Amino acid sequence: MSDRSILLIITGGVAAFKSLELIRELGRAGVRSRVILTKAAQEFVTPLSVSALSGEKCFTELFDLDDEAEMGHIELSRSTDLVVVCPASADIMGKAANGLANDLASTALLATDKRVLYAPAMNVRMWDHPAVKRNVETLRADGSIVLEPDEGLMACGEFGPGRLPEVARLKEEILAALSPDRSLEGKHILVTAGPTREPIDPVRYISNHSSGRQGYAIAASLRDRGAKVTLVSGPVSIQPPEGVELKKVETALEMLNAVETALPADAFISVAAVADWRPATASDTKLKLKGGDEPVSMTFAENPDILKTISNLAENRPGLVIGFAAETNDVAAHAQGKLQRKGCDWIVANDVSGDVMGGENNEVSLFTKDGMEASPRMSKAQIADWIAARIAKALS
């Protein structure tokens, strides 16, 4: 790591003092740190202490005549291998997610062409706020790394997720980001995500609660490992990961066609929650379903089984075919049965009886012909990394 460097942006918060220890620990690993201190951060740590530990000038002002004469914020943001925001406040993540730049830190983030790692630290209510969640989702979709905060007692006296991770974990994550895993370089991986919508008439459809978050997170994690990723997505409200080829579909029939068109691939991961049935005939005009004397009936047709179709291809079958099983009971039994029936190589099963569909966290079990491996409960981004690591090992 002796030739590696980071631009460390320290924002305001009690946890800012940990950044000083982080600078020292990274220095012991050979990583050089150049530092930007926001105005709020200077209420907790001083430019002098930062400079003493980093051995570099500490930068604080956007409108510094000496620094900006040399295009300081541009040079700072690009003459480094990684940008680290630690601690990352809700304010700085909100600015970055929405392209705002009104100080040196936010301007450097907007001007950088390097990857950014955020280590959030804030009150549990702030971390759980919908606006913060939207911003985190946007940053991850844009290709940034946003760590999950630790859970515990906070300076404000509340307990929950929002604590800055310990320095040992921060150091590990930063060193990993400085030595990216390219184990899937040259591989083409096909992922489906989200729900399908099966039209009844122009204003009604059959669908489910899938948000697409887990499939999108898997696509991003595979991309980060160097894979060429094709993401076939049903209708969702989240942004697709940068650098991924996106194919938007509505129905199960459209999804199957998009998947077959995208082949060949080294692996196929069927994360999408595909409707099992569709109305046999969709009306061209809105149906009047109320006010009649007779009960309404509808004829259904079975949708194609995309996972089974791809698993049993005679030609162009991917070397690794993975299905997902969203269950509410007897998860292991249902997953093992699905593994046999579909003819796929792996099944990733999870219990969706709680808040998994549409939620932020997940916990899965990976079933193969050789046995089962369970993950801990983690964010969907961490689950995606857990799965992607196993895919990389299998394809190697």
Q: Can you tell me which residue has the tokens 């009971």?
A: 329
Asked whether the beta carbons of 265 and 219 are under 8 A apart, the reply is no
DSSP notation for 321-353: EEEEEEESS-HHHHHHHHHHHH--SEEEEEE-S
DSSP notation for 65-79: HHHHTTTHHHHHHHS
Catalytic residue among 58, 86, 156, 344: 156
- H or E stretch including 19? helix 17-28
Which CB contacts under 8 angstroms, 24+ apart, belong to 358-365? 358/209, 358/210, 358/211, 358/213, 359/211, 360/133, 360/213, 362/214, 365/331, 365/332, 365/335
**What is the three-class DSSP state of 190?**
strand
Give the C-alpha separation, 107 to 88, whole Å.
15
DSSP notation for 272-320: SB--SEEESS--SS----SS-SSPP---EEEPP-HHHHHHT-SSS--SE
Exposure string of 285-312, with b = 16+ CB inside 10 Å and e = fewer, is eeeeeeeeeeeeeeeeeebebbbbebbe
* 86 catalytically annotated: no
Residues known to be catalytic: 156
